[in-house]
């Protein structure tokens, strides 16, 4: 499935969250990740994030789409990270 | 679904912060380790042992290609799936002449069947291919009489000759003519495309074999020489027409790939980076496209279809179900 | 050949899996249910986590509650409770033979549910029979034919069986 993840995390923990997200998804721009991942991997990612964040202070929002077909991505301004097949 | 990553830039691929990182002069790019199943390397890439250990742990295969786009070899991490039973079965079917011939015959007839599907597809779209199809049918009759894998290879070779001649009818392009099959180096553009696309099918099948209990070193049609991978070559025969060739036809017929995507090198012609990337993009898309699978009851991608083919081979080796190669539905 | 706890578990779901596992033809590891299951048993109950190996059995959790030894087995869902119960009973029976009296707890962390398992004469007889059947399945030349059951849609062998 297609996933878009955004977060708002206390400075103390933000690097840890960033590093964790990088293992599963592609960095898009500050605090935003996206990618196509399996259901199981998403569960795994959520488990890892839960262990890092303080639920009373930090927040992570995950949008999921069953298929990338129904999403459209438009950039205004500087083009930042995209899911690249060829690097 | 995990993704394939293709590296064309020069740089260093390394382990960083528990994931993969590709560092070039322009900066760092992180590759999500949990979501990658193979990496194909075309650029000048530096790696170290720490990375190889990490890839082994993460079960990610590396495939290397040289400057001209020729396949050089793979880093096939210590096999994570191991079944002594399956390896013995594989060997048993190799050592027994009849059993080996039966499998080899299946790979050849599977290849021919899918070659015919491709031809029929274009015949239905008005291309005059009936003569080729008839010729192939009549050559295919001799498969039954083959008593060795060499003879089978020869029959397949004859069929491929006919088939490749038909490329000129399917493509009808002044820039892409077949002439004769030439390899290492390919002598013209179309041959360069065929060689590169085929090598991508070989590595794709190898990556899928890695996720089964089969040993890629024991092939049946292609003689096992105890040195390199051969089972992937066998299975690739079945998929080359419907994956590689169909992509080539699309790219040429829609003029996506053009003469300026090639360059003269050595004594022949090879794809330049832009050309290779175009082919890769479309092959990757093709492998991720899905078709309905009746018995499984849902859509499966062409990549999964390759794995299913390997499962069918396993079931044949176990002795529970005669192997029948996949036939394209269209 | 000594049946393992895992084979007992599989036996009550699908005999074909018993045969395949006995040849180390492991299921597709990226199957989402297998992956999630692996995660749950790895992440849950870490405090009591002491993987214990005895002969050919592996026990997920072990703790003492007063005088009692309690062994636990972590499962993803209670859908296959029978399988899970028999697997744990098998461990109790094995321990019993080593002179250890224990009780079993089946743990379903996702459902916040626990089931206590005790060894009875009836269960012992059933285990005895299951082990005999497992041995005869394993001795078969080819696997028991694939049969479509509810579990198929979640099984790591699904693609193998129906390819």
Q: Pick the residue with more confidence: B282 or B227?
A: B282
- Alpha-carbon distance of A80 to A75, in angstroms, equals 9
Return the pLDDT at C2: 76
Give pLDDT tens digits for B283-320.
999 999 999 999 988 899 999 999 999 999 999 999 99
Residues C83, C7: contact at Cβ < 8 Å? no
Largest CA distance in chain A: 40
Note whether B81 contacts C: Cβ–Cβ < 8 A. yes
* Phi, psi of C81, rounded to the nearest 5 degrees: -60, -40
Residue of chain C with shortest Cα separation from B315: C160
Half-sphere exposure of B70 (CA within 13 A, CB side): 10
DSSP H or E stretch at residue C57: strand C57-65
Q: Using the beta-carbon criterion (under 8 Å), do B32 and A87 form an inter-chain contact?
A: no
* Phi, psi of B199, rounded to the nearest 5 degrees: -65, -30
Whether the predicted pLDDT of A83 surpasses 80: no
Q: Using the beta-carbon criterion (under 8 Å), do C25 and B314 form an inter-chain contact?
A: yes
B131: left (phi over 0), alpha (psi -120 to 50) or beta: alpha
Residues B10, B24: contact at Cβ < 8 Å? yes
- List, in order, residues 6 or more apart from C7 with CB less than 8 Å away: C18, C21, C22, C134
Note whether A16 contacts C: Cβ–Cβ < 8 A. no
Q: At C104, is the secondary structure helix, strand, or coil?
A: strand
DSSP B204: H
Closest chain A C-alpha to B77 CA, distance in angstroms? 20
CA distances B84 to B91, B311, C24, Å, are 11, 16, 8
Note whether A87 contacts C: Cβ–Cβ < 8 A. no
- Alpha-carbon distance of C24 to C37, in angstroms, equals 19
Residues of chain C in contact with residue A47, where contact means CB-CB under 8 angstroms, are 39, 43
Q: Using the beta-carbon criterion (under 8 Å), do B86 and C143 form an inter-chain contact?
A: no
Return the pLDDT at B68: 87
Average pLDDT value for residue range B29-45: 96
Residues of chain B in contact with residue C160, where contact means CB-CB under 8 angstroms, are 311, 314-315
pLDDT band at C15 (very low <50, low <70, confident <90, very high): very high
pLDDT, chain B, mean: 94
Closest chain A C-alpha to C34 CA, distance in angstroms? 9
Average pLDDT value for residue range B94-120: 96
Average pLDDT value for residue range A7-31: 95
Return the pLDDT at C109: 80
Residue A24: how many other CB atoms lie within 10 Å: 24
Give pLDDT tens digits for B175-226.
998 888 888 889 899 999 999 999 999 999 999 999 999 999 999 998 766 6
Most A CBs within 10 Å: which of C34, C38, C40, C43, as the mutation test of the A interface? C43
Residues of chain C in contact with residue A38, where contact means CB-CB under 8 angstroms, are 30, 32, 35
Assign 3-class secondary structure to chain A: CEEEEEEECCHHHHHHHHHHHHHHCEEEECCEEEEECCHHHHHHHHHHHHHHCCCCCCEEEEEEECCHHHCCCCCCCCCCCCCCCEC
Return the pLDDT at B323: 97
Query: What is the β-pairing status of strands B11-16 and B45-46?
Result: parallel
- List, in order, residues 6 or more apart from C28 with CB less than 8 Å away: B211, C34, C156, C157, C158, C159, C160
Residue of chain C with shortest Cα separation from B212: C28
Q: Subunits with at least 3 CB pairs below 8 A relative to chain C?
A: A, B
Average pLDDT value for residue range C155-163: 93
Note whether C142 contacts B: Cβ–Cβ < 8 A. yes
Q: Using the beta-carbon criterion (under 8 Å), do B17 and A87 form an inter-chain contact?
A: no
What percentage of residues in chain B have a pLDDT greater than 70? 98
What percentage of residues in chain C have a pLDDT greater than 90? 32
Whether the predicted pLDDT of C50 surpasses 80: no
Least CB-CB distance to A37: which of B9, B22, B35? B35
pLDDT band at C162 (very low <50, low <70, confident <90, very high): very high
pLDDT band at C68 (very low <50, low <70, confident <90, very high): confident
Q: Cis peptide leading into B205, omega within 30 of 0?
A: no
Residues of chain C in contact with residue B213, where contact means CB-CB under 8 angstroms, are 24-26
pLDDT band at C32 (very low <50, low <70, confident <90, very high): confident
Chain A residues with CB-CB distance to B under 8 A?
19, 22-27, 35-38, 41, 44-45, 84-87
Least CB-CB distance to A38: which of C32, C39, C43? C32
- List, in order, residues 6 or more apart from B296 with CB less than 8 Å away: B308, C158, C159, C162, C163
Return the pLDDT at B159: 96
Note whether B330 contacts C: Cβ–Cβ < 8 A. no
pTM: 0.91
Q: Pick the residue with more confidence: B145 or C56?
A: B145
Give residues 79 to 138 of C whose Cβ lies within 8 Å of A: none
Whether the predicted pLDDT of A9 surpasses 90: yes
pLDDT band at A81 (very low <50, low <70, confident <90, very high): low
Most C CBs within 10 Å: which of A40, A52, A64, as the mutation test of the C interface? A40
What percentage of residues in chain C have a pLDDT greater than 70? 88
Half-sphere exposure of C93 (CA within 13 A, CB side): 21
Annotated binding site of B for Mn(2+): 156, 222, 237
pLDDT band at B240 (very low <50, low <70, confident <90, very high): very high
Return the pLDDT at C39: 77
């Amino acid at each position: 499935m297609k996933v878009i993840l955004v977060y708002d995390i206390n400075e103390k923990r933000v690097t840890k969250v960033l590093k964790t997200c990088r293992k599963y998804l592609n960095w898009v721009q500050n605090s935003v990740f996206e990618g196509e991942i399996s259901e199981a991997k998403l569960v795994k990612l959520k488990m890892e994030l839960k262990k890092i964040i303080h639920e009373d202070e930090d927040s992570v929002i995950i949008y999921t789409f069953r298929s990338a077909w129904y999403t459209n991505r438009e950039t205004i301004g500087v083009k930042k990270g995209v899911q690249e097949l060829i690097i | 679904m995990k993704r394939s990553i293709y590296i064309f830039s020069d740089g260093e691929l390394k382990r960083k912060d528990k994931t993969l990182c590709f560092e070039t002069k322009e900066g760092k790019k992180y590759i999500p380790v949990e979501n990658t199943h193979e990496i194909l390397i075309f650029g000048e890439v530096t790696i170290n042992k720490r990375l190889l250990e990490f890839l082994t742990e993460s079960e990610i295969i590396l495939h290397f290609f040289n400057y001209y786009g020729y396949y050089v070899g793979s880093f096939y991490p210590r096999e994570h799936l191991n079944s002594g039973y399956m390896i013995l079965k594989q060997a048993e079917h190799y050592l027994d002449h009849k059993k080996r011939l039966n499998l080899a015959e299946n790979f050849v007839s599977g290849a021919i069947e899918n070659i015919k599907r491709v031809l029929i597809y274009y015949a239905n779209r008005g291309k005059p291919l009936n003569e080729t199809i008839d010729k192939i049918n009549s050559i295919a009759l001799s498969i039954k009489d083959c008593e060795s894998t060499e003879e089978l290879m020869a029959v397949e070779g004859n069929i491929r000759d006919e088939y490749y001649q038909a490329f000129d009818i399917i493509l009808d392009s002044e820039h892409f003519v077949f002439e004769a099959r030439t390899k290492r180096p390919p002598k013209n553009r179309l041959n360069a495309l065929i060689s590169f696309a085929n090598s991508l099918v070989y590595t794709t099948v190898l990556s899928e074999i890695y996720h089964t209990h089969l040993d890629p070193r024991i092939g049946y049609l292609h003689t096992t020489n105890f040195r390199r991978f051969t089972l992937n070559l066998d299975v690739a025969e079945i998929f080359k027409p419907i994956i590689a060739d169909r992509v080539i036809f699309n790219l040429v017929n829609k003029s996506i790939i053009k003469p300026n995507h090639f360059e003269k090198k050595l004594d022949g012609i090879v794809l330049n980076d832009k050309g290779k990337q175009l082919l890769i993009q479309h092959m990757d898309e093709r492998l991720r496209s899905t078709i309905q699978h009746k018995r499984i009851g849902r859509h499966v991608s062409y990549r999964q279809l390759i794995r299913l083919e390997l499962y069918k081979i396993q079931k044949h080796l176990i002795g529970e179900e005669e192997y029948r190669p996949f036939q394209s539905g269209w | 050949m000594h049946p393992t706890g895992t084979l007992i578990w599989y036996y009550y779901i699908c005999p074909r899996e018993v045969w395949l596992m006995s040849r180390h033809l492991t299921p597709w590891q990226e199957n989402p249910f297998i992956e999630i299951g692996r995660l749950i048993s790895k992440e849950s109950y870490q405090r009591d986590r002491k993987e214990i190996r005895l002969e050919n059995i592996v026990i997920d959790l072990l703790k003492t509650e007063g005088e009692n030894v309690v062994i636990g087995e972590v499962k993803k869902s209670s859908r296959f409770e029978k399988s899970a119960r028999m697997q744990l009973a098998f461990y109790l029976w094995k321990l019993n033979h080593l002179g250890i009296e224990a009780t079993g707890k089946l743990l379903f962390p996702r459902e916040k549910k626990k089931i206590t398992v005790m060894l009875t004469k009836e269960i012992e007889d059933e285990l005895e029979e299951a082990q005999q059947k497992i041995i005869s399945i394993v001795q078969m030349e080819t696997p028991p034919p694939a049969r479509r059951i509810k579990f198929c849609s979640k099984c790591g062998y699904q693609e193998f069986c129906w390819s």
